[in-house]
Amino acid sequence: MSSKLKLALIQTELIWESPKANREKFEVLLQFLPGESDLIVFPEMFTTGFSMNSAALAEPSDGTTVKWMLTIAQEKKSNVVGSIIVKEGQQYYNRLYWAFPNGDLKYYDKRHLFRMAGEDKYYSPGCSRLIVEYKGWKICPLICYDLRFPVWSRNDCDFDCLLYIANWPKPRIDAWTALLKARAIENQCFSIGLNRIGQDGSGVAYSGGSAVFSPKGKSLATFKDNEEQIVMLELDKDERLKFREKFPVHLDRDEFKIEGL
């Protein structure tokens, strides 16, 4: 089994509260993929932007966008990841879907809701992490504000890569970069952060700043600020394994349990 993982990270502007228009936009962008990939990554709330209009924009768990993601995964023979607004029962979630090319589907509900924008008033928090196994890799996908909480991102020898999708505002972009690098170093894993660009309907500006860091904290990919980009790169899991064997910080980790989960 190959230790390599090919990624396609799409940093782009989102059309405010327009699921159909955003799906069409991504269909066009996907035509420009320069090669095959194992994983195609879209930003947080990629069909709407970071909207609190959950009641009007929510889709069912088997709705149009989920079916669309599964179709794209099958057509591109690649995993497809992104979050959308979902209604389940009487609750609304900022839900990340992971669509497999074989038709399987997994999801993660954002745990840490951004109260400064009122996200905690319009959405319910998730209560468990997701670790996806694919081609010998174990990947933990998380969403935006989750990045600020290292306990939730803690790697207890569970995964090879942290993947954050976000709508992270321009004024706090330095924190975004610093935290992505820190999560890579402290967990001795790859850390990937995909952000958006442009301005949303609430007047919030985004500059991109998407980034990828190695387990040593080395930058592996460069994105231009305020520019739409598709960045392709390949990660090698053997790099992480060899580093952990040589420098086994994880053997001295503190054991703990998160209450309420």
Secondary structure (DSSP) of 156-206? SS--SEEEEE----GGGHHHHHHHHHHHHHHHTSEEEEE--EEE-TTS-EE
Residue 181 belongs to domain with CATH number: 3.60.110.10
257 in a structural domain: no
Residue range 93-120, pLDDT digits in tens: 999 999 999 999 999 999 999 999 999 9
43 in a structural domain: yes
Residue 32 C-alpha from the chain's centroid: 21
Rounded average pLDDT over 146-150: 98
Q: In the annotation, is 259 catalytic?
A: no
Q: In the annotation, is 110 catalytic?
A: yes
Domain extent for 78: 4-251
| Euclidean distance between CA atoms 256 and 87, whole angstroms | 33
**Which pTM does this prediction carry?**
0.97
Rounded average pLDDT over 48-69: 98
Give the pairing type, strands 91-99 and 79-88.
antiparallel
Taking 70 as the threshold, does the pLDDT of residue 260 lie above it? no
The pLDDT of residue 241: 93
Give the pairing type, strands 190-194 and 161-165.
parallel
113 in a structural domain: yes
151 in a structural domain: yes
128 in a structural domain: yes
- The residues facing 4 across adjacent strands are 236
The pLDDT of residue 158: 87
258 in a structural domain: no
Total domains present in the chain: 1
Amino acid identity, position 205 = A
E strand or H helix at 145, and its extent?
none
210 in a structural domain: yes
Query: In the chain, what are the helix, strand and coil shares in percent, each to the nearest 5?
Result: 30, 30, 40
Catalytic residue among 13, 17, 59, 110: 110
Q: In the annotation, is 36 catalytic?
A: no
The pLDDT of residue 166: 99
CB 229 within 8 A of CB 13: no
Catalytic residue among 17, 119, 140, 144: 144
The pLDDT of residue 258: 81
The pLDDT of residue 1: 62
Nearest partner of 44 among 140, 121, 146, judged by Cα: 146
Q: Which three-class secondary structure state does DSSP give residue 115?
A: helix
120 in a structural domain: yes
Question: Using 50, 70 and 90 to split pLDDT, how confident is the model at 156?
Answer: confident
Region of poorest pLDDT, from 32-46, 85-99, 245-259? 245-259
Region of poorest pLDDT, from 32-36, 114-118, 238-242, 245-249? 32-36
Residue range 164-193, pLDDT digits in tens: 999 999 999 999 999 999 999 999 999 999
